Amino acid sequence: DAKYWAIAESRLSSLAYSRAGASGIWQFMKSTAEGYGMKVNSYVDERRNVYKATEAAAKFLKSNYQFLQRYGVNDWLLALSAYNAGP
């Protein structure tokens, strides 16, 4: 279930931060977050905004799924598994 995805990524903490630099409930890297329209600078970090980050995570997952479809693969679980592989 996708509902456990955020638990695995951040333990549902919008303040979660990884050693690699990923941040927020969905653990977005800065460049990926910016690519999905989130602001990340010294004043604001929208990766920590649960609503904006969740919308971006859904778009990112959809993008993964569409990538797989181009190769004839219709597998949401694989798209979800590829989440940490990056764009």
**Residue range 43-57, pLDDT digits in tens:** 999 999 999 999 999
SS3 75: coil
* pLDDT over threshold 90, residue 30: yes
Domain count, the chain: 1
pTM score of the predicted model: 0.88
Q: Is 28 helix (H, G, I), strand (E, B) or coil?
A: strand
Q: What angle do CA 4, 21, 14 make, to 5 degrees?
A: 45
User: What are residue 58's phi and psi, to 5 degrees?
Assistant: -65, -40
Given a contact cutoff of 8 angstroms between Cβ atoms, the answer to whether 58 and 77 are in contact is no
Q: What is the pLDDT of residue 1?
A: 67
Structure confidence at residue 87 as a pLDDT band (50, 70, 90): low
pLDDT tens, position by position, 57-86: 999 999 999 999 999 999 998 998 888 776
**Domain range enclosing 75:** 2-85
